[in-house]
């Protein structure tokens, strides 16, 4: 990868989950989530980003979201299920990102709120177009994703390092 080529981090929030009598970690997707997750996958494919690695929370709803979304991508990236993403703060998520090998150019992180929204806000020193306005207006709903770009190594990811280049929700 050239020094001039930006790396990308895509933050995908899990699809809409159901609320059965089970632990939070074990909550499955609701019917709407099973409908929205493939739509998010198609929209991820439309970005043209060829993900080298997907880091997915171990929660049932994130694993189900990823299983439905990944089938819409032209190529399946290597996937690691990472328990530290579940209930992680933006700082904890940055620590996970900092461990990404530098052979990875484009990273997909599948997780939860408030971590995904908080991480997008913390990393985005700049924003293109109306992406920040739209994200702030809608929050970070289920199945939404943010695309951030930055220059440097994964170890250099810290607050303000990125540019928010796209923000999408299923309602767009």
Q: Per residue of the chain (172 residues), what is the pLDDT tens digit?
A: 545 689 999 999 999 999 999 999 999 999 999 999 999 999 999 999 999 999 999 999 999 999 999 999 999 999 999 999 999 999 999 999 999 999 999 999 999 999 999 999 999 999 999 999 999 999 999 999 999 999 999 999 999 999 999 999 998 7
State both tokens at 144.
């939404």
Domain total of the chain: 1
CA-to-CA distance for 70 and 42, rounded, in angstroms? 9
Would residue 2 count as lying in a domain? Answer: no
Give the Cβ contact number of residue 61 at 10 Å: 26
Q: Is the dihedral of CA 141, 163, 99, 52 positive or negative?
A: positive
| 47 part of a folded domain | yes
pTM to 2 decimal places? 0.96
Q: Is 147 among the domain residues?
A: yes
The parent domain of residue 124 ranges over 7-168
Calculated CA dihedral for residues 53, 58, 60, 66, nearest 10 degrees: 0
CATH number of the domain to which 89 belongs: 3.40.50.1240
Residue 1 is assigned to a structural domain of this protein: no
Looking at the DSSP assignment, which residues form a beta bridge with residue 111? 13
């Amino acid at each position: 990868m050239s020094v001039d080529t930006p790396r990308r981090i895509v933050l995908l929030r899990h699809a809409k989950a159901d609320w059965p009598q089970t632990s939070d970690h074990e909550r499955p997707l609701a019917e709407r989530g099973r409908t929205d997750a493939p739509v998010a996958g198609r929209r991820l494919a439309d970005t043209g980003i060829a993900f080298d690695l997907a880091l997915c929370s171990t929660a049932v709803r994130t694993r189900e979201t990823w299983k439905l979304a990944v089938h819409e991508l032209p190529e399946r990236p290597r996937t690691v299920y990472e328990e530290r993403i579940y209930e992680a703060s933006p700082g904890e998520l940055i620590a996970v990102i900092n461990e990404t090998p530098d052979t990875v150019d484009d990273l997909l992180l599948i997780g939860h709120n408030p971590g995904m929204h908080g991480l997008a806000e913390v990393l985005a020193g700049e924003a293109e177009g109306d992406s920040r306005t739209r994200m702030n207006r809608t929050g970070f709903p289920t199945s939404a994703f943010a695309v951030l770009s930055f220059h440097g190594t994964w170890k250099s990811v810290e607050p303000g390092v990125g540019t928010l280049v796209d923000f999408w929700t299923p309602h767009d």
